[in-house]
Structures are given as C-alpha cells and as structure tokens.
C-alpha cells in the first residue's frame, strides 16, 4: 500500500484543521496558523510517510479557509457607520413638506417617526406614522451599512403605493455630516424612469433634515423635505 492510500487528503486536512482551530478561533495570522498546523501534523503522522505535495496542499487550504473566515467576519461586524445609525434610535417628530409642482406651495403635515436597531446593531428600522393629503400614512424603512461595498443601503415602503424603493449612497463629513443616496422608480403616468437624489444632513445632535430631488426630462426639482426633531 502506498503512502497516498495510507493517508488520504481528507485525513491530513482533518488533522490540520483540528490543530489550527485554536489559532483560527482566536483570529491568529494565517501563515502562523499554517506553520503550527504543519508541526502538529508532522508529530501526529510520520512525516517521511506523507507525500510532500499532499501536506503542502492541506496546509495551504487551511490558510485559505482562515483568510476567508476573517473576510466574512469583517464584512458582518458592525462598525463606525453602524454606530452612526444607532445614534438615531428614538422617537422623532417629522415636519413634512411635499411639492407636487414647483410653482405651487408645498403640502405640509406632521408625523411621528420611531427608530430602533435590529439584528445585533446592524440595521436601523424606521416606522413612520402620520397623515398625507388628509389621509392616514404609514411607512417602514430599513437602513444599513454594507461593509463590503462601503455604502449605506435603504429600503422604503408605505401604504401610499406598491413600490419598494431601494437606495444606496455614502457619507461625507464636511462641511457637516451628510449622507447622499440615489434611487429610481417608474412614473405610473409617463411610464418613464425617474431618478432621485436623497440628501440627509445632521446639523445638530437631535435634528435631521431629509431632502429628496427628482429628475424629470433632465430637470432636477425638490419634491420632499422632512425636518426631524428628537422627542425622546
């Protein structure tokens, strides 16, 4: 029986994995983990009986697995941008203005906005309750920060339509903290795609301004302004 048959790859890989697990679970460097694993394998199995190529392949695969684990951990761990979202938790009063045509005064209303974090501090849930054009209005928004793509992402839906609005964008800190996102939807009247620019600024700790601008026929017009004031 040759050495390859005596020590199949999966057996060697299992020994490598078990040897490296303490280092992996504590986040040690991949190269150090591989060397430690090789030492343990050589002690567990007579090194002269293990094909060199097979041993090197097993330790290389363990190093790759460790690097992948680190990448996934980085992608899924809340960071500074999630802390920013968490700072918005609470109950807010929302003073809303809606422009239907640029030459007419906006429709105004006041709503209540309740915000909370979800899934271990990874996403901000926003529940909106108020009126729109004299009728009850309810909306739900979920905002997160995608570590991998380095961008904010938001979904919004409400009882005023059947559209799920999806937007994404980034934050700038100067001159004041500002998040700018973009989205689009199909105009049910014209059947054309309308592009939105959504700008949220934070002039003070307990205040926030949201503005939406729509581009139609190449012209950008402001359509929504919401001024938030923290209640609690």
Question: For 91-112, how does the pLDDT look when each residue is reduced to its tens digit (9 = 90+)?
Answer: 999 999 999 988 899 999 999 9
Within the chain, strands assigned E span: 90-98, 107-118, 123-132, 135-146, 151-158, 165-172, 178-186, 193-204, 207-216, 219-230
For residues 105 and 165, state if they share a domain. Answer: yes
List, for residues 172-221, the tens digit of each pLDDT value: 987 789 999 999 999 999 999 999 999 999 998 899 999 999 998 889 99
Picking from 26, 46, 76, the residue at the C-terminal end of a domain is: 76
List the domain range (segments joined by +) for residue 57. 3-76
For residues 41 and 105, state if they share a domain. Answer: no
Kindly report the CATH number assigned to the domain that includes residue 172: 2.40.128.20
For residues 13 and 105, state if they share a domain. Answer: no
Distance of CA 207 to the CA centre of its chain: 23
- Cα angle for residues 129, 162, 148 (degrees, 5° grid): 85
Strand-pair partners of 146: 151
What SS3 class is residue 161?
coil
Strands 193-204 vs 207-216: parallel, antiparallel or unpaired = antiparallel
Strands 107-118 vs 151-158: parallel, antiparallel or unpaired = unpaired
List, for residues 119-134, the tens digit of each pLDDT value: 999 999 999 999 988 8
What SS3 class is residue 142?
strand
For residues 84 and 139, state if they share a domain. Answer: yes
For residues 66 and 156, state if they share a domain. Answer: no
Domain count, the chain: 2
Picking from 76, 102, 119, the residue at the C-terminal end of a domain is: 76
For residues 108 and 18, state if they share a domain. Answer: no
For residues 84 and 68, state if they share a domain. Answer: no
How high is the mean pLDDT of the chain? 84
Per-residue pLDDT at 29 exceeds 80: no
pLDDT of residue 92: 98
């Amino acid at each position: 029986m040759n050495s390859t048959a005596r020590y199949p790859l999966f057996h060697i890989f299992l020994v490598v994995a078990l040897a490296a697990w303490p280092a992996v679970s504590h986040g040690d460097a991949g190269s150090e983990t591989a060397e430690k694993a090789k030492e343990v394998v050589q002690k567990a199995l007579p090194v002269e009986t293990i094909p060199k190529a097979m041993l090197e392949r097993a330790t290389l695969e363990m190093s790759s697995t460790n690097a992948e684990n680190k990448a996934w951990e980085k992608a899924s761990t809340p960071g500074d941008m999630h802390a920013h979202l968490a700072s918005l938790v609470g109950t807010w009063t929302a003073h809303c203005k809606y422009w239907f045509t640029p030459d007419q005064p906006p429709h105004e209303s006041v709503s209540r906005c309740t915000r909370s974090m979800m899934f271990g501090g990874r996403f901000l849930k926003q529940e909106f309750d108020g009126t729109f054009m004299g009728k009850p209005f309810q909306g739900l928004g979920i905002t997160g920060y995608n570590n991998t793509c380095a961008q904010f992402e938001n979904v919004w839906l409400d009882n005023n339509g059947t559209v799920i609005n999806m937007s994404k964008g980034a934050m700038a800190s100067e001159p004041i903290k500002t998040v700018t996102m973009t989205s689009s939807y199909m105009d049910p009247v014209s059947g054309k795609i309308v592009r939105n620019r959504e700008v949220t600024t934070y002039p003070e700790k307990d205040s926030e301004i949201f503005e939406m601008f729509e581009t139609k026929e190449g012209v950008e017009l402001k359509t929504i302004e919401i001024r938030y004031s923290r209640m609690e």
